[in-house]
């Protein structure tokens, strides 16, 4: 109840500030479509601009790639903080794998599409077919914009509302098994390629736990490296890296 009250107090305060803005419609569009109360709309203009439709600000050509980098870091920190506080008995390996499932491109892309980010993006569809993760990347860019515009706490509030959502949702994401190895096998069979997992190293971490590092080779060429506290976990992470590379081919 208190959080809802605080939210509406923020909305009222923000709307009063809008009275002094000359381009109220753009700010209201961002709020009504994506729930963002912006102080400076320019950050979001950049965040919503795919590199196929870059914009010019102060003579500079800009798109959302740099903001995506920043938003990725903000998201990773916010999710790590949430997991650390809510799963106090979990080991580091469980926290790491849980965070990876929450912030992976497939999950973020689905969230972004559910938020209708694709309707707000500036993109040139005539140049090429957009990669499947482009909307999730734009969501990260928006998080970077919120961080620069309103600070870390506001970024976290947005992440909690749209990505973490609630404990039940997070539990469902964490429990979901993503079999990257099966996807790699399917892709290799379809494209008539061979694949092989090579163990690179096996060493103890700071907590005396064994950490495996594995490399995946496709037709003899390195495609990704992964690590984990079991060979299977390391292979999954290596396969995930390989899938990211394949998506960008």
Q: How many CB atoms sit inside 10 A of residue 191's CB?
A: 10
* Integer angstrom CA distances of residue 138 from 63, 68, 124, 151: 10, 7, 14, 18
- The answer to whether 117 and 30 are in contact (CB under 8 A) is no
Please confirm, yes or no, whether 140 is among the known catalytic residues: yes
Q: What would you report as the CA-atom Rg of the chain, rounded to the nearest whole angstrom?
A: 21
Sign of the CA dihedral running 10, 12, 17, 23: positive
Please confirm, yes or no, whether 241 is among the known catalytic residues: no
Calpha distance 249→243 (Å, rounded) = 10
Active-site residue identified among 23, 40, 45, 72:
72
- Adjacent-strand bridge partners of 213: 201, 227
Packed helices 167-175 and 92-103: angle between N→C axes, nearest 10 degrees = 100
Active-site residue identified among 140, 213, 233, 241:
140
* Ramachandran quadrant class, 187 (left: phi over 0; alpha: psi -120 to 50; beta: rest): alpha
Packed helices 24-34 and 2-18: angle between N→C axes, nearest 10 degrees = 160
| Those residues with Cβ within 8 angstroms of residue 3's Cβ, 6 or more apart along the chain or in another chain | none
Active site residues per annotation: 72, 140
């Amino acid at each position: 109840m208190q959080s809802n009250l605080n939210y509406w107090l923020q909305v009222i305060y923000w709307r009063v500030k809008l009275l002094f803005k000359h381009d109220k419609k753009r700010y209201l569009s961002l709020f009504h479509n994506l729930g963002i109360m912006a102080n400076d709309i320019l950050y979001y203009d950049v965040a919503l601009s795919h590199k196929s439709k870059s914009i010019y600000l102060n003579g500079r050509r800009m798109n959302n790639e740099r903001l995506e980098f920043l938003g990725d870091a903000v998201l990773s920190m916010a999710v790590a903080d949430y997991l650390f506080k809510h799963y106090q008995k979990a080991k580091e390996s469980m926290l790491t794998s849980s965070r990876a499932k929450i912030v992976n491109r497939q999950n973020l892309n689905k969230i972004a599409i559910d938020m209708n980010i694709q309707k707000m993006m500036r993109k040139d569809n005539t140049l090429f077919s957009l990669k499947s993760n482009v909307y999730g990347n734009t969501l990260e860019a928006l998080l970077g914009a919120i961080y620069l515009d309103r600070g870390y706490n506001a970024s976290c509030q947005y992440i909690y509302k749209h990505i973490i959502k609630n404990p039940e949702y997070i539990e469902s994401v964490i429990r979901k098994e993503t079999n990257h190895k099966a996807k790699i096998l399917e892709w290799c069979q379809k494209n008539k390629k061979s694949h092989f997992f090579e163990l690179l190293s096996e060493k103890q971490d700071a907590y005396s736990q064994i950490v495996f590092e594995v490399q995946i080779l496709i037709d003899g060429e390195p495609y990704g490296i992964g690590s984990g506290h079991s060979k299977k976990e390391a292979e999954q992470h290596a396969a995930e890296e390989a899938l990211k590379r394949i998506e960008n081919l």
